[in-house]
Each structure stands twice: as C-alpha cells, then as structure tokens.
Amino acid sequence: MPLHSKKKIYIAGHTGLLGSALVRTISNDERFDLILRTRKALNLLDQSSVFEFMQKEAPDCVILAAAKVGGIQANINDPVHFLYENQIISSNVIYSSLKAGVKELIYIGSSCMYPKDYKTPLKEEYLLAAPLEPTNEGYALAKISGAKLCEYCSRQYSVNYRVLIPCNLYGPNDKFDPESSHLIAAIIRKLHEAKINGSDSVAIWGDGSARREFLFVEDIAGFIHRSLDFIDELPHYLNIGYGKDFSVSEYYQTAAEVIGYKGKFEFDKSRPVGMARKLLDSSRAEKFGWHPTTNHKDGIAATYSYYLDTMRRSG
C-alpha cells in the first residue's frame, strides 16, 4: 500500500445490526476508506457478481458480517435457506477475496457454532467437539463451513483470515419483527406492545431458566475497529463475549424496568428454548484489550430508544 494512502475496507452486510455499527465506528477514522454495497447493488448469493466486484474494488481488508439470521422458530421452519444462503454467502465472499488478493479478512461467526449443552464457558477449541443444537443446526453448519474455509485459506495461502465468534448481539438497527428478532429485540417489542395494550401478562417461552450471553453491538464494533491494526496477531478463532450470562427471566425483568411494564410473566413450557446455556470464554480476547463497556440496562435502554424512533418514523 503506497505511503499515506487509505486502507480500503469492504464491509459485507453494512446495513445489518453489526455492519451498521461498524460503519458508524470506522467511518470516523480517516485512515480507512469504506467500500459499501447494498443487497440490490451486489447480490452476495451471485458468485460471478461477487468475484467481479472483488477484482474491481481490490479491498485491503474484508469484514464479512452479512448473513441470513432469525430467531428459533424461523430456524426451525426454514433450515434449508438458513444453511444454503449462509453457506453460499460465506463461500462467495471468502473465496472471491482470496482470488482477488485480499490479505486480511474478518469473518463474523456465531456462538451457535458450538456444541449443544457442552462444557461452559465455551472455549474456541470446543468447535466440532460434539453434536450441534438441532433447532439452528442449518445456520450453525453454514457458519462453521465459512469459518473452516477462512482457516484453510490462512494455512494454505498465508493470508490473515480470522474468525471472531461473538455471543448474541443487540442494539440500534436490530430486527424487531417476530420472524427475525432475537431474544432482547423480541422482549422489547413484546413488552412495549403489552404496555401500550394494557396487557396483564406476557408469555415467556420455556420456564425462563435458559441462560444467554448478550453484548451491546457498539462494544464489539469498537473492538473490531481497533483490531484492524493487528489482524495478523489474532488467533484463527477468537470468542468475543460479555463475560457473564443471565437467565431469560432476568432479561425480561430488566427490560420491564426500562420500558415501564408492570404486568406479570407467564411461562409457556410447550415452546422451544434452544440450548440451556452457551456462555463464551473470552479470556483470549482480553489479551488483545477486549472488555465490554455497556451494561445491559443501559444497552436495553438505548435499544428501546431506537425502537421507539423506528415506530415514530414508520407512522
């Protein structure tokens, strides 16, 4: 790269939850020039289009945050497309990056890649150690496939393709619709609607004891921004978590405080809940300066504020 030239970074999935946070964070750094394309401008499922784009733009670094995501029910209902689309997106972007001479790539994995109800906290070396959680196996397999492709590219071609494995994320630009939303966004929508409608109770899937680790999206975006200066020093796989998990019931209680919902909670034990627990071991990341800065009450408050703004804009 010529002296004083900006480092070109392509963010795949820049309109999503993490991608948009990365744009907000990195765009303020004058050392970097962001390359962004909407889904309409570049279909990541189209191999030839992705290949041509990479050859033409020749980014110095790629951050692959694009994915088809959804909640438990969406994954149960449509495993074909969660497997197929995520596998194709990952393969197209990673392999096209390799063929275009891209030396650095950050692949955003998922804690779903870890075995079902395995030893916690989950360490990076536990990948593929046991069977996956059946409810989102298709999505998990696709993410594992992309992660292994990054590992193989790094080993075979001496490139720096790294896999970051975050816990569940939430924050501004989250999805709140019933089909696509994850736990915290779904809780915010349910409690807000219950408050507006004057509902006496809200149903929680399962018995509320399942534990989940959530991280405010701006925190991980900040770490990824900083890591652009030392991608080559990162291990192939790196967990990025909050460091502590909470029960589903506790998330409901915190959100109720923020939103001002005074009703009671009822448990629907007929509904699926996924893994009982999947707390990440983020000690490796701590050696690279990782530490979350946003507590859940503040993070949920910021996310609820975004949700209200979205509701007002949509009329």
Span 277-315, pLDDT tens digits:
899 999 999 999 999 999 999 999 999 999 999 999 986
CATH number, domain containing residue 229: 3.40.50.720
- Residue 49 in domain: yes
By percentage, how much of the chain surpasses pLDDT 90?
90
- Residue 302 in domain: no
pLDDT in tens, 109-136: 999 999 998 999 999 999 999 999 999 9
- Residue 303 in domain: no
- Residue 140 in domain: yes
Q: What pLDDT was estimated at residue 24? A: 98
Q: What is the mean pLDDT of residues 7-18?
A: 98
- Residue 253 in domain: no
Active site residues: 139
Identify each DSSP E strand in the chain by its residue range: 7-12, 32-35, 61-64, 104-108, 160-166, 168-170, 201-205, 211-212, 214-216, 237-240, 246-247, 264-268
Q: What pLDDT was estimated at residue 4? A: 57
Domain span holding position 54: 7-173+213-244+277-294
What is the C-alpha separation between 170 and 97, in angstroms, rounded?
28
104 beta partners: 61, 160
What is the C-alpha separation between 275 and 197, in angstroms, rounded?
32
Note whether 16 and 65 are within 8 A (CB).
yes
- Residue 160 in domain: yes
Q: What pLDDT was estimated at residue 2? A: 52
What is the C-alpha separation between 126 and 119, in angstroms, rounded?
9
Total count of domains within the chain = 1
Q: What is the mean pLDDT of residues 9-32?
A: 98
Q: Measured between alpha carbons, how far apart are the two ends of the chain, in Å?
A: 48
Note whether 221 and 285 are within 8 A (CB).
no
Note whether 128 and 114 are within 8 A (CB).
no
pTM: 0.94
64: confidence class by pLDDT, cuts 50, 70, 90: very high
What is the C-alpha separation between 274 and 110, in angstroms, rounded?
14
- Residue 75 in domain: yes
- Residue 65 in domain: yes
Residue of 67, 148, 135, 70 whose CA lies nearest to 278:
135
Count CA within 13 A, CB hemisphere, residue 15: 7
- 208's CB contacts (< 8 A; 6+ apart) are 247, 248, 249, 252, 265, 267
